[in-house]
A and B are shown apart, each in its own frame.
Chain A
């Protein structure tokens, strides 16, 4: 199947991939002008700053958008592009995938590279892995976790290794960052055992956000008596 590129509109070339993309396509596709066609952005790794531009880009270009990524994004970036743009092409795949991706997106499809999808289709965490990760987020050491969960330290390490592999991270900090990022990471909800559990336990706090139950300041040093619950997971 040969796929000819639809009319394109370059929206941003932050990663400098546009000249190479036009070389790959064999010609500079016609610019559609103000509307229509497929919008193209080139990003480094779908950083927060790059993805944040999408709101204004959507106003500028209401049609579908394809992101060309210079490098493999983090799990956060993969999640963001998969959810927010209609197509993604990695720089290493430009020759093989750009034309067909543009054609598919122009035809109303969404296209995600297999490598990114594998990052998103992570295997589910076991309850024990969730418990261990939840304590890692709170900065507990392996020894402290082992003591609390009444398991051996090597058992904790084993659960962490497995959990890190499933999350696609290699360090405690990276795992914590991924878990706590409400905006574009996995979010703390990943540590819930099920949505039913959380509603049953905290029926009035279904949303992962701070809930200020008491917010009074009566005296210096005695602030807000008891702000009880923010449910962050």
Chain B
């Protein structure tokens, strides 16, 4: 699945019903219940996942992560968009709404 950068920034992403996740000390594990596949995120990746899953848009999630880690938003944006694309490609997140829906 390919989604343009601007569309992705404005999109609201959520974990789909067939995905469960659990945060442990060293990692966050996602389980795709449709395939039985596990996927792992390091702690920062886990924090990004939580932020994206809670925020009304990816853009908002970027701000939250940048604040939390006192990191340059541009740097966070690149990493977070890459993570979102990867999760979307694997069916581990889904787009709930985009700016075009509003």
Contact = CB atoms under 8 A, between A and B. Distances in A.
Contacts, number: 120
Nearest to A224: B42
Contacts of B70: 219, 221
B38 A228 contact: no
Contact of A230 (B33, B39, B78): B39
A148 B22 CA distance: 13
Interface in A33-77: none
A201 B32 contact: yes
A161 to B, nearest CB: 20
Interface stretch (A3-11, A88-96, A135-143): A135-143
A230 B79 contact: no
A179 B78 CA distance: 36
Interface in B73-102: 75-76, 78-80, 82-83, 86-87, 90-91
Main secondary structure of the interface of B (DSSP, over half): mixed
Interface in B54-86: 69-71, 75-76, 78-80, 82-83, 86
A230 B45 contact: no
Given A140-B20, A226-B48, A131 B42 contact: no
A225 B79 CA distance: 5
Interface residues of A, number: 37
B39 A229 contact: yes
Interface residues of B, number: 33
Contacts of A213: 82, 86
A226 B41 contact: yes
Nearest to B19: A148
A143 B75 CA distance: 40
A131 B76 CA distance: 34
A201 B35 contact: yes
Interface in B12-61: 20, 22, 29, 31-45, 48
Contacts of B87: 228
B86 to A, nearest CB: 4
Contacts of A192: 35-37
A201 B37 contact: yes
Contacts of A216: 79
Nearest to A139: B22
A164 interface: no
B22 A227 contact: no
A38 B33 CA distance: 47
A218 B71 contact: yes
Given A135-B20, A225-B75, A225-B82, 14 more contacts: A134-B36, A197-B36, A202-B37, A210-B40, A213-B86, A216-B79, A218-B71, A219-B71, A222-B76, A223-B43, A224-B42, A225-B79, A226-B79, A228-B83
16 contacts: A131-B33, A193-B35, A193-B36, A201-B37, A202-B37, A213-B82, A216-B79, A219-B71, A225-B44, A225-B45, A228-B86, A229-B39, A229-B86, A230-B38, A230-B40, A232-B38
Interface of B: 20, 22, 29, 31-45, 48, 69-71, 75-76, 78-80, 82-83, 86-87, 90-91
